[in-house]
Each structure stands twice: as structure tokens, then as C-alpha cells.
Amino acid sequence: MSLETELMAALGRVRLAARQLAQAEREQKDRAMVELAALVRERRALLLEANAADLERARQAGVTRAFLDRLALDEGRLEAMARGVEEIARLADPVGETMARWKRPNGLEIVQVRVPIGVIAVIFEARPNVTIDAGALCVKAGNGAVLRGGKEALATNGLLAGLIGESLERVGLKREAVYFVANPDREAVQLLKRHPEAVDVIIPRGGAALKEALQHSAVPLLPHFDGICHTYVDRAADLDMAVEICFNAKCSRPSVCNAMENLLVHAAVAPQFLARLAPRLSAAGVEIRGCPRTCALVPYALAAAETDWDTEYLDLRLAVKVVDSLEEAIAFVARHGSGLADAIVTEDAAAARRFEREVDSATVYVNASTRFTDGYEFGFGAETGISTNRLHARGPMGLRELTTYKYLVRGQGQVRR
């Protein structure tokens, strides 16, 4: 059987199962979430064993340290998965929610209600938690899910997807509503993007290679691509606060998309601020790549190339630039940012308001780390991705972002004249 024949047959089964799931009551979907959390805890030894095998294969392939960090599971990450699923169970079900209601002069009553999107394909790389997060959110929002993870995590992702199917079966729903694409052939992505009759939307989570692979997609995309996040330390910043925020934004988990990649520092505070932050970054293993003024203040910094300002390192590297004004900082973010998350540290309320108003990113922070750009941190339980799109959904994508709406129009015999 060809890959296309196999995949199209599976997508047909997902579509049929999604119709049942769209009509499921909240209580049934929530029981599936509870079952899934229990299964993640119950099968943790098997999951860790599969993940260890995936990690060893990835090491043999020579992947980066950051890649291994995204791929790795441990007891803590598995418990975080389970807690996230339980949080999803506690959230209100958006399906069937009345968004608006009004009556026309001719007596027609119009009601706008939330409904599932249908079948959602999530294409991602080496983070196994995405399998659980995306699958659980799609199920709770009444959607069928097609999950296609990177080849490096096939064993782990296959087991996790199987747990979602088992949890659905336990509560009387069809396990076919969630399908894991176990074939690592890149042609699978090309097939998914060519069939809008089978897939309603694709949520891609990855870098340049995935962006290129999905060019000219016939299926609408809600992309989660680059995360080139900035923090600007203003001349009016509390420097103690700024040091903690910047260290957290870079070092708490550098391999994720909401980590800081570019640091901008106002010239008025650059000498004292960098004298405090740079040694701490260096002690944590961060390689600093700076503009000429940064290199003059931090002798061990490497000279930044122009490409550094547009690089998502996902590692312990940081590009640092000294700027002369808030205006210059905002213009720099507009030129080099990816629209995912950007922050200002300042005690100047007017500067904070201007940064919020003029920086066009999905999440804009004042006096907080960009690391909070995350579905769990936003109270969504999990996320299917962080959309940098401007249509339909933007930022961390939770349950509501996985729905669309329709209009219910109720009359008493009205006809249009």
C-alpha cells in the first residue's frame, strides 16, 4: 500500500470519528482527559524507556544539545504533561458557547455559536509533550487530530498517541479521532498540505525547513515558526529587576521558542547593567555576541555578525545591542523580530505604553520574562502552538483557538422580498 493510499484512508477515519467527537458532551470529553492523565502516569516507565532509545538514536545522529533538550523526557516533564491534561479537563468547554445573539427587524433571531474546526493536523519536531498537548486540546475542542512529529521521537510519540486513543476508547469515543503519522517520510507533509477536503487546518511548529516544506499549501496554516524574542532594558529600568528578567528569559530553558535571543540595552544604563548581567550569563555558559559598543563594555563578547540579529539560536547564545533610544529599540524589534514575544523593562509608564502600542507581536511584556508565552502559563492547560499569524488566532493557542463558529438563524416563516 502506498503512503498516499494509507494516509488518505486514515484521514477518512479521522473525519468520521471527528463528527462523533464534535457532538460529545463535555462530561465525556473530560473523562477522557482524566483517563489520559492517569495513563501517562501509569505508563511512565515504558515512556521513559522509549524516550531513552529515541535520545540515543538522536545522539548517534549528532544533533545539537538544544535539540536533545527538547526531545528529552523525565519524571518531572511527564508529570507536567499529566497535570496539563487535568487542567484541560477543568476548563470550560467552548463548543456550543453562544458568542453573540441579536434579532433583526423582520423577526429573525441570529445566534453565533462556537463549533469545532473539524480535522486539525499538527506538524512538529522533537518535543514529545506536543503529542499530548495538541491531542488533548483537539479532543476537548471536539476536533479530530492528525499528529506528525519528527523522526527523532517516533517511539516516544507513537506511545503517547496510543495513550490518547486508549483514553478515548475507555469513555466510548472513537480512538480514530486522533491519528499519529508513524511514517517519517517527508512526503507525508506534502500529502497533508495537498488535501483540504481531508484536513481543515495545519498547525506547523518548526523552523525554516518546515516553513519551506509547507509553501503553497492548499490547506490553511496557523503557523508557529521562528521565535526571535527581544528584551529591551530601558534607561528607566530597575536594573535589579532587569538582570533577573533577562537571565530567566535566556537561561531558564534556552531551547524553546519563547527564550530571549536578542537583548537591547539603552546606552544610558548599558555600562552598569552589562557589568552586572554579562558575568552571570557567562558563568551560566552563555556566549555573548555583541555590537561594537557591547564588545567595548564586555571584553569577552564576540563581535556580532549582521545575521546574528535574525538567528533563533535555541541555545546558550545571545545577541546584545546597545541602542540610543526607545524609538531605536522599537524599530529594531520591527526589523528583526518574529512577532512571537517581546519585552520592555522600565519604570517609565509612558515608555511602557508606547512599547505595548507600537510593538506588533503576539505577546508584548512589560517588566516580565518572555518565557511566559506558553499555553499552560496563560491558563489554557496546554497549547497546540504559539501562532505568529494575524488571522483567526494569535499567540498561545488553547481551546477557543481550536474552534470556529457558525450562525443559527431562527424564523417564523420569513422570506426575503
Distances (CA, A) of 293 to 111, 289, 299, 308: 59, 11, 10, 16
Q: Hey, what amino acid is at 389?
A: N
Contact 20, 177 (CB under 8 A): yes
Backbone angles phi, psi at 32, to 5 degrees: -65, -40
Cell numbers at residue 20, please?
462523533
Name which of 87, 97, 100 is nearest 34 in CA terms: 87
Give every CB contact of residue 406 below 8 A, 6+ residues apart in sequence: 112, 113, 115
* Beta strand pairing call for 98-103 and 317-323: unpaired
Distances (CA, A) of 19 to 13, 81, 167, 175, 213: 10, 27, 18, 13, 29
Position 206 scores a pLDDT of: 78
Helix (H) or strand (E) holding 57: helix 44-60
Position 162 scores a pLDDT of: 97
Contact 367, 108 (CB under 8 A): no
Q: Hey, what amino acid is at 30?
A: D
Contact 297, 320 (CB under 8 A): no
All structural domains of the chain: 3-222 (3.40.605.10), 229-372 (3.40.309.10)
pLDDT along the chain (417 residues), means of 10: 91 97 97 98 97 94 86 95 95 97 97 98 90 96 95 94 97 97 91 95 86 91 89 98 98 93 98 98 97 97 97 95 98 96 98 98 97 92 86 90 97 94
Position 211 scores a pLDDT of: 84
Backbone angles phi, psi at 183, to 5 degrees: -80, 120
Give every CB contact of residue 240 below 8 A, 6+ residues apart in sequence: none
Contact 39, 94 (CB under 8 A): no
The number of CA neighbours under 13 Å toward the Cβ of 131 is 31
The DSSP line for 203-248 is: EEB--HHHHHHTTT-SS-B--B----EEEEE-TT--HHHHHHHHHH
Contact 79, 371 (CB under 8 A): no
Contact 277, 243 (CB under 8 A): yes
Give every CB contact of residue 364 below 8 A, 6+ residues apart in sequence: 341, 342, 343, 355, 356
Name the burial class of residue 387, with classes exposed (0-12), middle (13-18) and buried (19+) by CB atoms within 10 angstroms of its CB: buried
Give every CB contact of residue 315 below 8 A, 6+ residues apart in sequence: 64, 65, 66, 254, 255
> How far is the C-alpha of 82 from the C-alpha of 87, rounded, in Å?
9
16: Cα separation from own chain's centroid: 27
Position 10 scores a pLDDT of: 96
DSSP state of 63: -
Name which of 248, 223, 282 is nearest 370 in CA terms: 248
Name the burial class of residue 261, with classes exposed (0-12), middle (13-18) and buried (19+) by CB atoms within 10 angstroms of its CB: buried
> How far is the C-alpha of 165 from the C-alpha of 383, rounded, in Å?
19
Position 7 scores a pLDDT of: 94
DSSP state of 375: T
Position 167 scores a pLDDT of: 98
| pLDDT tens column, 229-268 | 999 999 999 999 999 999 999 999 998 899 999 999 999 9
